[in-house]
Amino acid sequence: MSLHAQLALTRGSFSLELALDAPAGQTVALVGPNGSGKSTLVEALAGLLPIDSGEITLDGAVLERPGDGIRVRPQQRPVGVSFQGLWLFPQLSVRDNVAYGPMATGTPRQAARAGVQELLKRLDLVALAQRRPAELSGGEAQRVALARALALRPRLLLLDEPLSALDIEARPRMRALLHELLAEFPGPRLLITHEPLEALLLADHVVVLEHGRVVQAGTTAELRSRPQTRYAATLSGVNLLSGTLEADGSGWLLRTAGPALRVLPEQPTPGAALHATVHPAAVRLLEPGTPAGEATSWTTRVESVELHDDRVRVRLADPPGFVAELELEDARRFGPGTEVRAWLPAKALSVYPRMVP
Amino acid sequence: MNARWVGLALWLAVLTGLALLVLPLLGLLARAPWSETAALLTSRTVQQALLLSLVVSAAAVALSLAVGFPLAWLVARRSFPGRRVLRTLLTLPMVLPPVVAGVALLAAFGERGLLGGALAAFGVRVPFTTLAAVLAAAFVAAPFLIATLEAGIAQTERRLEDVAATLGASRWHAFRTVLLPAIRPSLLAGIALCWARALGEFGATITFAGNLEGRTQTVPLAIYQTLQTRPEQAFLLGAILLLISLCLLAGLRGGRFAA
């Protein structure tokens, strides 16, 4: 009872090549920057885009295996899809949008309309049943798209950016509803998102896709503690530096493209390729020339200063994208261009093996 | 320049435009001897021409729909080498002088035409038949339908058909329930334009199908012939054709013309 996909496809200059397993009863979040191939994967799994090689199986049944000439058409796949942008049928009422699947597959009109009543109730759409999509709010339209995708009782659920049509204020409620719906759905469900919070809150597993390849897969906890790429690190809001380990007197030094970091590896091997993460709040910014003692420290400039609630995020010029988070009163003296000395205690750096070359 | 003069020039342009476009129609309606309507409509020649016009234009629209829908879909939805060339070819008859269209049709289906010989072998002679009148009307009128439909299909998001497919809808079901409702306005406008053009077709018809009473003489051809002998009747027949075209446009565009 699971989705198994191992596929390759090329579309113009873009290629998607990945293996993905989603067990029944679990939510797998697929995250990645724009253009990483998330929506292409949705199209491939739904059968809208043929794969070049590999196979897609659902509950052991082959949906597609080009090697053997097997390709189940989208109409025959038990896959429910909520597309990014929703794409409700504009000329149909809410009820008829939801009943579209049953009607298209042979259920008589009246029976189909009656048959979706439970679903409309579950998604709180009964009062809106006669409305047209143009008369709905973003959240309402999203609920219709979900109901429509569920109406044929699919065995795999694909949700592409289910919260993107919503205002920021409307998201928490929808996220809670989504959480319930996902839990009720017995089969595997795939949630595509570029919002880290969404992935961490709704999913059991997270797969990070970049340039059409899986760069990291694991539980949300693993992803948070050991991100493998810069993008994955931004999901949990930490700074990621990578380098090679070398001995330095009694301690260890991680040589990166930027500063050399004093680290405390658990099982040190000289020459090992490691990642190091540090939470922005653990970074201190000092006057240039302040003695650093045993900690890592380097001199650079402030690139930008942003306010986040009562904290201040100071972005440094070197290494690019490196962020320090300060209390409001500590940040007063920093502006773009200020020369500073960044200071990190070895204990604040978490080091682990690098898996992605 | 003075704003007043600009205003005046604009008004002058508007009035000239109205005179150019509307005055001839008003003149036609004014000069038509309406009292002779009953007599005219009982004339066998006129009855035949009216019936033929209706049959030929309807057949031309049907033919245009049958071949135009797939072509419009192809050009709007598929990318293939030569797509732009095909699109230009499909709109070419719009700008072609109708008499050239008639000559071209002769060159294709005439006795010594590209296809004429092969057709003759099966005993089929196209030129100077009712079928030729239908082909001539379809040749000049179909581009109006194709161009309008193509724009309508291109405007309809393909994603909606993808959604329908994931919901188990066959291509035909998706076509009926998703694409057709979305392009309904384009379809009706296209049919109206196509029909009006087919109804008014003259040059290609007289060249390719001739002016044979009861076989290829449609109303425009009858008007042309009557004009040489009984001009007053030609005015009346012209006025009647004008009213028929008007009803057709108004009917198919769902009252948008009346509003």
User: Which residues in chain B are contacts of A101 at CB distance < 8 A?
Assistant: 167-169
How far is the alpha carbon of B181 from chain A, nearest alpha carbon, in Å?
7
CB spacing of A100 vs B169 below 8 angstroms: yes
Looking at A230-306, list the stretches that DSSP marks H as alpha helix, in order from N- to C-terminal side: 230-235
Average predicted confidence (pLDDT) for chain B = 90
ipTM: 0.81
The 3-state DSSP class for residue A40 equals: helix
CA–CA gap between residue A187 and residue A26 (Å, rounded): 8
How far is the alpha carbon of A223 from chain B, nearest alpha carbon, in Å?
32
How far is the alpha carbon of A11 from chain B, nearest alpha carbon, in Å?
14
Nearest CA in chain B to A47: B166
Q: What percent of chain A has pLDDT over 70?
A: 99
Closest alpha carbon to A65 in A1, A11, A6: A6
Average pLDDT over residues B249-254: 72
CB–CB of A265/A245 below 8 Å?
yes
How far is the alpha carbon of B165 from chain A, nearest alpha carbon, in Å?
5
pLDDT of residue A98: 97
CB–CB of A227/A210 below 8 Å?
no
Q: Which of residues 241-300 of A touch B (CB under 8 A)?
A: none
Nearest CA in chain B to A153: B167
The single residue listed with the structure tokens 């704003």 is B3
B37 pLDDT more than 80: yes
CB spacing of B165 vs A81 below 8 angstroms: no
What confidence category does residue A166 fall into, taking pLDDT thresholds of 50, 70 and 90?
Answer: confident
Instruction: Give tens-digit pLDDT for A243-284.
Output: 999 888 888 889 888 888 888 888 888 888 999 999 999 998
**Residue A147 contacts B where some CB pair is shorter than 8 Å:** no
Query: Residue type for B5, please?
Result: W
pLDDT of residue A357: 59
CA–CA gap between residue B123 and residue B160 (Å, rounded): 48
Look at the alpha carbons of A315, A319, A320, A321 in this order and tell me if their dihedral is positive or negative.
negative
User: Which residues in chain A are contacts of B160 at CB distance < 8 A?
Assistant: 87, 89
CA distances from A270 to A245, A252, A258, A274, A275 (A): 5, 9, 19, 11, 14
A90 pLDDT more than 90: yes
**Residue A12 contacts B where some CB pair is shorter than 8 Å:** no
pLDDT of residue B170: 94
Instruction: Give tens-digit pLDDT for A96-136.
Output: 999 999 999 999 999 999 999 999 999 999 999 999 999 99
Give the largest CA-CA distance in chain B. Answer: 73
A79 pLDDT more than 50: yes
Average pLDDT over residues A223-246: 87
How far is the alpha carbon of A43 from chain B, nearest alpha carbon, in Å?
9
What confidence category does residue A24 fall into, taking pLDDT thresholds of 50, 70 and 90?
Answer: very high
CB–CB of A247/A264 below 8 Å?
no
Look at the alpha carbons of A99, A102, A105, A110 in this order and tell me if their dihedral is positive or negative.
negative
Looking at A3-136, list the stretches that DSSP marks H as alpha helix, in order from N- to C-terminal side: 38-46, 94-98, 100-104, 109-115, 117-122
Say which of A81, A89, A90 has its CB closest to residue B166.
A81
Query: Residue type for A288, please?
Result: P
The pTM assigned to this predicted structure is: 0.78
Q: Please, which residues bridge with residue A5 across strands?
A: A20, A56
A20 token code pair: 């993905």
CB spacing of A46 vs B166 below 8 angstroms: yes
The residue of A48, A148, A158, A159 whose CB has the most chain B CBs within 10 angstroms, and thus the best one to mutate to test that interface, is A48
CB–CB of B108/B115 below 8 Å?
yes
pLDDT of residue B251: 77
CB spacing of A48 vs B166 below 8 angstroms: yes
What confidence category does residue A10 fall into, taking pLDDT thresholds of 50, 70 and 90?
Answer: very high
CB spacing of A148 vs B168 below 8 angstroms: no
**Residue A78 contacts B where some CB pair is shorter than 8 Å:** no
pLDDT of residue A337: 87
CB–CB of A276/A243 below 8 Å?
yes
CA–CA gap between residue B127 and residue B136 (Å, rounded): 10
User: Which residues in chain A are contacts of B178 at CB distance < 8 A?
Assistant: 89
Q: Which of residues 176-205 of A touch B (CB under 8 A)?
A: none
Closest alpha carbon to A191 in A15, A20, A6: A20
CB–CB of A219/A204 below 8 Å?
yes
Say which of A46, A47, A104 has its CB closest to residue B169.
A104
Average pLDDT over residues A201-212: 91
pLDDT of residue A356: 67
**Residue B167 contacts A where some CB pair is shorter than 8 Å:** yes
Average predicted confidence (pLDDT) for chain A = 90
CB spacing of A101 vs B168 below 8 angstroms: yes
Who's near A256: CB < 8 A, 6+ residues apart? Answer: A241, A242, A243, A276, A319
What confidence category does residue B257 fall into, taking pLDDT thresholds of 50, 70 and 90?
Answer: very low
CB spacing of A104 vs B160 below 8 angstroms: no
Instruction: Give tens-digit pLDDT for B47-89.
Output: 999 999 999 999 999 999 999 999 999 999 888 999 999 999 9
DSSP A83-97: -TT----TTS-HHHH
Give the highest mean pLDDT range of A130-134, A317-321, B223-227.
A130-134
Looking at chain B, list the stretches that DSSP marks H as alpha helix, in order from N- to C-terminal side: 3-31, 37-42, 44-77, 83-95, 98-109, 116-121, 130-155, 158-166, 171-174, 180-200, 203-208, 219-229, 231-252
CA–CA gap between residue A308 and residue A280 (Å, rounded): 13
CB–CB of B205/B117 below 8 Å?
no
Q: Give the residue, A292 or A10, on which the prediction is more confident.
A: A10
Query: Residue type for A285, please?
Result: L
What confidence category does residue B252 fall into, taking pLDDT thresholds of 50, 70 and 90?
Answer: confident
CB spacing of A89 vs B170 below 8 angstroms: no
Q: What percent of chain A has pLDDT over 90?
A: 57
* Element (DSSP H or E) covering residue A302: strand A296-308
The residue of B155, B156, B158, B167 whose CB has the most chain A CBs within 10 angstroms, and thus the best one to mutate to test that interface, is B167
How far is the alpha carbon of B145 from chain A, nearest alpha carbon, in Å?
23
CA–CA gap between residue B139 and residue A245 (Å, rounded): 78
φ and ψ of B212, to 5 deg: -100, 115
pLDDT of residue B132: 95
How far is the alpha carbon of A93 from chain B, nearest alpha carbon, in Å?
13
Question: How many C-alpha atoms does A87 have within 13 Å on its Cβ side?
Answer: 22
B246 token code pair: 């008007």
Q: Please, which residues bridge with residue A314 across strands?
A: A305, A324
A328 pLDDT more than 90: no
Q: What phi-psi label fits residue A93: left (phi over 0), alpha (psi between -120 and 50 degrees) or beta?
A: beta
Instruction: Give tens-digit pLDDT for B119-175.
Output: 888 888 889 999 999 999 999 999 999 999 999 999 988 899 999 999 999 999 999
Query: Residue type for B49, please?
Result: A
Who's near A230: CB < 8 A, 6+ residues apart? Answer: A240, A321
CA–CA gap between residue B233 and residue B237 (Å, rounded): 6
CA–CA gap between residue A297 and residue A344 (Å, rounded): 6
How far is the alpha carbon of A189 from chain B, nearest alpha carbon, in Å?
16
**Residue B112 contacts A where some CB pair is shorter than 8 Å:** no
**Residue A74 contacts B where some CB pair is shorter than 8 Å:** yes
CB–CB of B141/B60 below 8 Å?
yes
CB spacing of A74 vs B173 below 8 angstroms: no
Query: Residue type for A139, please?
Result: G
Looking at chain A, list the stretches that DSSP marks H as alpha helix, in order from N- to C-terminal side: 38-46, 94-98, 100-104, 109-115, 117-122, 138-150, 171-184, 196-202, 220-225, 230-235
User: Which residues in chain A are contacts of B177 at CB distance < 8 A?
Assistant: 89, 100, 104
B258 pLDDT more than 80: no
CB spacing of B165 vs A48 below 8 angstroms: yes
CB–CB of B87/B97 below 8 Å?
no
Average pLDDT over residues A175-179: 91
User: Which residues in chain A are contacts of B169 at CB distance < 8 A?
Assistant: 75, 100-101, 104-105
Question: How many C-alpha atoms does A276 have within 13 Å on its Cβ side?
Answer: 31
Say which of A74, A81, A89 has its CB closest to residue B178.
A89
B99 token code pair: 């008499």
User: Which residues in chain A are contacts of B159 at CB distance < 8 A?
Assistant: 83, 85, 87
DSSP A214-248: EEEEEEHHHHHHS--SHHHHHHTT-EEEEEEEEEE
**Residue B157 contacts A where some CB pair is shorter than 8 Å:** yes
Q: What percent of chain B has pLDDT over 70?
A: 97
A300 token code pair: 């650079």
B189 pLDDT more than 80: yes
B259 pLDDT more than 60: no
Cβ-based contacts under 8 A for chains A and B = 63
